[in-house]
Amino acid sequence: MPTRQLGNSDLQITRVGFGAWGISGEGWAFSWGPQDDNESVAAIHRALEMGVNWIDTAAVYGLGHSEEVVARALSEWRGPRPYVFTKCARVWNERREVSTVLKADSILRECEASLRRLRADAIDLYQIHWPAQENPADNEEAWTALQKLKSQGKIRFAGVSNWG
């Protein structure tokens, strides 16, 4: 499968990746409905068999469930490990209501939670999910947190998702 360089990184990614929003399950505001986790794992494996080398997920997808399914699929996968991209800054409360939080302490906690759910030591690409657009200065604290995570080796690269 053809690859291309991702931005200014050293990542060579396939032109097609596996988007894991659809495997997030039910019970949250942006659900695609009930999903069978075994079928989701099989779908990830099939994508990897076809040559896909990256998976995109987010902490908010299924309120963490998508990351857990990705981790399970990768733990059962015997081929080359794909790159894993996930996102931060979309958090939920006990009522499962989702909001954007760009504060550094939140992003640092979110990263630790994603690493646990993904059963990973580092995230290949960690993205701010829906950054502030009306007042982009609100993103500065989030970027500072991402730089800290990168210096700690918890993320390899940082980016944004859904800008514009």
pTM above 0.75, yes or no: yes
Is the pLDDT confidence value at 164 over 80?
Answer: no
Residue 6 lies in a domain: no
Q: Quick check: 157 and 126 in contact, CB under 8 A?
A: yes
Q: Which domain holds residue 125?
A: 11-161
Handedness of CA 113, 118, 124, 125 (dihedral sign): negative
Separation of alpha carbons 73 and 26, rounded Å: 19
Residue 28 lies in a domain: yes
Q: Mean pLDDT for the chain?
A: 95
Is the pLDDT confidence value at 37 over 90?
Answer: yes
Separation of alpha carbons 110 and 89, rounded Å: 8
The string of pLDDT tens digits covering residues 66-116 is: 999 999 999 999 999 999 999 999 998 989 888 889 999 999 999 999 999
Q: Indicate if 61 belongs to the active site.
A: yes
The string of pLDDT tens digits covering residues 118-130 is: 999 999 999 999 8
Residue 1 lies in a domain: no
Q: Looking at residue 68, which CATH number applies to its domain? A: 3.20.20.100
How many structural domains compose the chain?
1
Among residues 23, 44, 52, 61, which one is catalytic? 61
What backbone torsions phi and psi does residue 3 show, to the nearest 5 degrees? -120, 165
